Amino acid sequence: MNSPVKNFTAEQKLLLALRLYYSAYELKIASVKKFHPELTDNEVLLKVKTIFSHARS
């Protein structure tokens, strides 16, 4: 399979990776808010930061 990403410049690949990262971050914020409605916005952000800091690929 020939992926169009192979033809991207390094800058385009980096921008794509950043967009994916921030999309995942926003989805995780929404998920934490849904499952923990009692948390304040600051608590949600702290929880998400903790989750992402312990994430592995």
pLDDT digits (tens, 9 = 90+) for 4-38: 889 999 999 999 999 999 999 999 999 999 999 99
- Reported as a pLDDT band with limits 50, 70 and 90, residue 57 is low
Q: Pick the closest to residue 28 from 1, 57, 51, 10 (CA basis).
A: 51
pLDDT at 3: 86
**In which band, very low, low, confident or very high, does the pLDDT at 2 lie, cut at 50, 70 and 90?**
confident
Q: What number of other Cβ atoms are within 10 A of residue 26's Cβ? A: 11
Domain regions of the chain by residue span: 8-53
CB 13 within 8 A of CB 5: yes
The pLDDT assigned to 10 comes to 96
- Other residues' Cβ atoms within 10 Å of the Cβ of residue 57: 2
pLDDT in tens, 35-49: 999 999 999 999 999
Report the interhelical angle of 41-53 vs 10-35 (nearest 10°).
130
